[in-house]
A and B are shown apart, each in its own frame.
Chain A
């Protein structure tokens, strides 16, 4: 339980909150700036998401005290994240590896309009990647 730990760390807690807040603000500014300078291709997404994950972890660990929670509470939260990843991952895996024409036309998963060829499945398997 959090209480004994909280008593011990009373003073450090306030400082901790402050530090986390500053870190969050700095990361927000950072991600905003990086977005403005338009990193090439996949980097923009990767960096933005990495920063978001970092910020989220800070909030969860320190503001939400997962750092000093009991096992059950951590487990609950971790489990929910597993299922988030599961749903997103397998859904995208499906569309990324489908018979291309079964994806919405005009989308990356489907070929550009006007090219439904016999060799589609193989050609698509080579060009597609998540």
Chain B
């Protein structure tokens, strides 16, 4: 796609790239329509909130070192875990990979110049900032103590300042919808000549599936949060048990969004992993169609399982049965991906770099976290585990173990593409090992705490739980230290990293066929796709020719 670029020469830093062209200066960034700049701005913003959420997490862990008050009172603690959840979920995990990496990469992987609606894309970023500002205002002006789940009637009667946080999440939903809409239309209409649906990179498939969930589930959450805000502000509620309302209905609505939202977070992680596993084993994906379609399967079936959050809430046994059995099916799609990724390694040529290390972590956490998820959906076991630390550990395995591993893998894998420079590989591996081990030490004790019966959101706890809590906090410190190391070396690499060249990993992904950092128009010449996205089997050393005589228009 960039035939002018000589292959396997000394790496070059593209002199004219999206960072300095068409204009320089922060003003040009704030008004940019370039999907790459918007993606980078999303990455920076979400990373800041990741740090904030991480700080809250550390404070929570420190507080739990002793059975009684350690560094704060119960009210502060309740606010902290609420804010930790809200920040991590709505401000970091939901937008991080789709809006950040997705924005940067999706058009490039499709061979497009931009997303379909660049203005909407910028609007999405500002809507995100607005939502974040409103939510932050709520946090500063008192914060909420409802947990990120906002269960009524507690959330409608709490004296804390929950309304701005609800509204913040409501506004953030619009950002999510706009991004999803943009990606779907982009995928449908802006594929490069020659790129049929079955030649799309798996990253695109997963992001596409994510977008479907975003546009279909988010409006329901928006409405639900608005209803809670109305009920809190004016008593104008439809969940109020005193007026015949059903608080369990809120839980239905909430999880109708929030269970698929788990896949809004995990599918992009899987998107990243599908790319990383091919690039670092230098091998064609095993079962392209299976992996691609399983993304859509997750998106679809993910909507049918929300009731497994309600097994103990008074939901009927009939619904519990329906949701229980449907939940078994959604895990299958994840299993398909896991098996296919593992099979991809077979007869590969594996370079064990930092992104691959995160893939290893991801694989372990996803298998264990996913299977404990199925275990939780096993109805009678859920009755015991529900709302205990087992659930906390399970979803952190998926969320932290899955999403953050993938986020870090993506950060390392595409760091050369985004910045044009390399990160220090040695430090990368050290940090990866620390993060993966620290993570295990943090959350495996929490599984055991859940088995012992420690409920979540507990400020005081009986003394018999202390040893495991201390172990968990110790693990969290290692995890935090690892993350700080990553932050430090990545920031330093921006300035001092070795120049990467257009394709340091010898990856076959289409985004690597253009200089690093990419030019504002992504490709120097309009690419014509002649091969699949993950093909490593031909004998051509690096860049197979990618021109075809007759450009075929994708519709």
Interface residues of A (CB under 8 A from B): 72, 79-80, 83, 86-87, 90-91, 93-99, 102-107
Contact = CB atoms under 8 A, between A and B. Distances in A.
A97 B310 CA distance: 14
Contacts of A98: 314-316
Nearest to A102: B314
B199 interface: no
Interface in B225-252: 241, 244-246, 248-249, 252
Contacts of B310: 94
Chain B at the A interface: mostly helix, strand, loop or mixed? helix
A97 B314 CA distance: 11
A94 B307 contact: yes
B318 A107 contact: no
Given A87-B256, A94-B252, A72 B319 contact: no
Interface residues of B, number: 25
A72 B241 CA distance: 42
Interface of B: 188, 212, 216, 220, 241, 244-246, 248-249, 252-253, 256, 303-304, 307, 310, 314-319, 322-323
Across the A-B interface, the 9 shortest Cβ-Cβ residue pairs: A97-B316, A97-B318, A98-B316, A102-B314, A94-B319, A104-B244, A91-B252, A94-B316, A94-B315
Nearest to B319: A94
B206 to A, nearest CB: 18
A93 B319 contact: yes
Contacts of B317: 97
Given A97-B317, A107-B244, A90 B322 contact: yes
A97 B248 CA distance: 14
B314 A91 contact: no
B319 A106 contact: no
Contacts of A97: 316-319
Contacts of A94: 248, 252, 307, 310, 315-316, 318-319
B314 to A, nearest CB: 4
A104 B246 contact: yes
Contact of B303 (A86, A96, A103): A86
21 contacts: A72-B188, A79-B216, A83-B216, A83-B303, A90-B323, A93-B316, A93-B319, A94-B307, A94-B315, A95-B246, A95-B316, A97-B316, A97-B319, A98-B314, A98-B316, A99-B314, A99-B316, A102-B314, A104-B244, A104-B245, A105-B244
Contacts of B304: 86
A110 to B, nearest CB: 10
A103 B246 contact: yes
A103 B317 CA distance: 14
B216 A80 contact: yes
B303 A90 contact: no
A98 B314 CA distance: 7
A22 B252 CA distance: 40
A41 B245 CA distance: 24
A11 B317 CA distance: 57
Contacts of B318: 93-94, 97
A99 B317 CA distance: 8
A72 B220 CA distance: 22
Given A87-B253, A91-B252, 6 more contacts: A90-B319, A97-B316, A98-B316, A102-B314, A104-B244, A104-B246
A105 B322 CA distance: 25
A103 B248 CA distance: 9
Contacts of A93: 316, 318-319, 322
